Amino acid sequence: MKVGRKAKPDSPEEMALVHHALENPIRRRMIILMVEGCLSVEAIGLAVGPRMLDYHLHRLELAGLIEVDDGKIALTESGEAYGGLVRSQAERGGAG
């Protein structure tokens, strides 16, 4: 799968989408799992539960953090960067 490697949000609107995507604890957990290598929709669903899974994936995709194709998830450059920050914060006892 070819991933558009968008480095950072280009506008305040795009930054708001990232903020919205990462303000939810389930989506933060999902992005941490993805950074750790859990890159299939099925595996993410097993880890966080199926409740609203498509919605959560859509919010992460809309924010430009992931791309989903045929059940496989790829982190964008932004997804890797923000995911690393979220993971680091969670490891230090912050929002995870």
For the chain, give the mean pLDDT.
89
Residue 34 predicted with pLDDT over 70: yes
pLDDT for res 9: 66
pLDDT at 2: 47
Class of the CATH domain delimited by 12-90? mainly alpha
Six-digit token string for 26: 């389930």
Rounded to two decimals, what is the model's pTM? 0.85
Residue with tokens 């199926």: 50
Q: What is the CA radius of gyration of the chain?
A: 12
Token pair of 3 as six digits:
């991933």
Does 67 have pLDDT greater than 90? yes
The H or E element containing residue 44 is: helix 41-48
Q: What is the C-alpha to C-alpha distance for residues 87 and 46, in angstroms, rounded to an integer? A: 19
